[in-house]
Homo-oligomer: A and B are copies of this chain.
Amino acid sequence: MTVEPRRRNDPARRQRIVDATLIVIERHGVAGTTHRRIAEAAAVPLGSVTYYFVTLEDLLTTAFLQLATTSSGAFAARLDAATTRCEAIEGVIDIIAGSVWADPRTLLLSYELYAYAARHPDVTTVMQHWMDNSRAALGRFFDPVTARALDALVEGIGIHNSIDTAPLDRDAIRVIIDRITGDA
């Protein structure tokens, strides 16, 4: 019999807005990301969006930073699960081929992120940290140059596979990685 009260102080709302923003970016691109679409996607009144984020740019930055953190975290988590060099290689293959990082959604968002970062220095900084983290995670098993090579390969194959009509399969990826790591 209780009427659902107009939710006051909804603690999840801010987070819901950020999540909705990423959904809208994915669907419409930064160019098509508007307060109204975000509000609708978050099922939140229009005024809410500007209430929690002074500026649309604020919100975009927050959303992209969250994306970077999440992606970076997933990458590191997968590698942290490895204890041997061999498991680490398997982890990298998972990251590239699987859904750890290179799912279409994350990739599409990362293009938008890169483009956005190029014009927003604070986001660039976070991306640098992201890359540092990835390399540190790889650095547990590989020397620095190899780590960077693998990191770049994740990026490059990920992008190409997302476009390619015939993506590289796990075996092909393994061949390449083995060459880079010298484990051939």
Residues of A that sit less than 8 Å from B by CB: 28-31, 33, 104, 108, 111-112, 114-119, 124, 127-128, 131, 145-146, 148-149, 151-157, 159-160, 162-165, 168, 172, 175-176, 179-180, 182
Contacts and interface: CB of A to CB of B under 8 A. Distances in A.
Contacts of A168: 145, 148
Contact of A127 (B31, B145, B163): B163
A104 B152 CA distance: 16
18 contacts: A29-B30, A30-B30, A31-B31, A31-B33, A104-B118, A108-B115, A115-B115, A128-B165, A131-B160, A145-B168, A145-B175, A148-B160, A148-B176, A152-B156, A155-B156, A155-B159, A156-B159, A179-B182
Contacts of A164: 128, 131
A82 B149 CA distance: 24
A166 to B, nearest CB: 10
A153 to B, nearest CB: 6
A54 to B, nearest CB: 13
